Amino acid sequence: MNGSIGVLAYKSGGENVIFDAGMPNSASEILLSLRKLSINTESTRYVLLSHRHIDHAGGAFALLEQLPNASVGLHPFSVKGLSEPSKIYEGGRELFGDFATPMGPVQTSSMQSLEDGEEIRLGEGVVRAIYSPGHTSDHIAYYIPQKRTLYCGDVLGSFSVKTAKMYPTSIYPSFDYAKYKTTISKMRSIDADVAVFSHFGVISGVDINQILDMSLAAYRALEEFVAVNSSSMDKEKLVRELKATLKEATEIFPGPVRDKAAEFIARGFLEGSSPSKMGQQ
């Protein structure tokens, strides 16, 4: 899925990590890119997952087969899901259709649950895990202090290099708006000036607060739409009308799934911002 999904690799002192694993069938392309970047697969220590969605976690099992010294680092909520991936696969098919290819299990012994704030040693540096629920309950962003770089996964939204805009990633059914807002406040203390988006690209040389404000503005636009229209529309009409405003937001997805993606973002925001969402994991 060219230009839709990216992973990040970071090298320090002869070791390296990969952030996210792409789709189940992304492994060969990722490994080819590592080779081009002269990144040695023997010295890959971790595949650090941002969250359980198939376009991020799906390729972990296949990457591990080619990375003999790597473990998968992830949120404890998702250890079971990765070891028995049928639920992740089915959820992935609902949104991505045939782009979501079958997913194999990751052995529990190859997974390492990460704690909030945990520092993963790598060569001469560290990578810090930052729990960042909102997009999903198991979301982790990763901060590399030496590079002042934040790997955002999907928590802030998607970023279009073409329009230089940020768009919401309130995917149904996991999105939780209250948790997302708490995560944004927490991220204000991170001293980053580079943000890397899985979908897709990099913002650099910009204060992290500006990046966080761009994200908040993208979600507030949805919030305002719902506030203005919720008294005059039932839920399904709201989903349809909100979906119609998300055309640009889904340009980052492959053509055939754009319409579905708009629906998942619209429904995810409506459900994820409703009072009944409060208090769920």
Nearer to Zn ion by Cβ, of 88 and 122: the residue is 88
Contact pick of 154, 176, 251, 271 for Zn ion (by CB under 5 A): 154
CB of 198 to Zn ion, least distance (A): 8
Nearer to Zn ion by Cβ, of 15 and 154: the residue is 154
Nearer to Zn ion by Cβ, of 15 and 20: the residue is 20
Q: Are 273 and 246 in contact (CB under 8 A)?
A: no
Nearer to Zn ion by Cβ, of 122 and 141: the residue is 141
Contact between 15 and Zn ion by CB under 5 A: the answer reads no
Which of the stretches 2-10, 32-40, 51-59, 90-98 binds Zn ion when contact is defined by CB under 5 A? Answer: 51-59
Contact between 53 and Zn ion by CB under 5 A: the answer reads yes
Size of the site for Zn ion (CB under 5 A): 2
HEC string of 1-38? Answer: CCCCCCCEEEEECCEEEEECCCCCCCHHHHHHHHHHCC
Closest to 120 measured CA to CA, from 81, 146, 139:
146
Contact between 267 and Zn ion by CB under 5 A: the answer reads no
CB of 43 to Zn ion, least distance (A): 28
Nearer to Zn ion by Cβ, of 7 and 122: the residue is 7
- Report the interface residues with Zn ion, using CB under 5 A: 53, 154
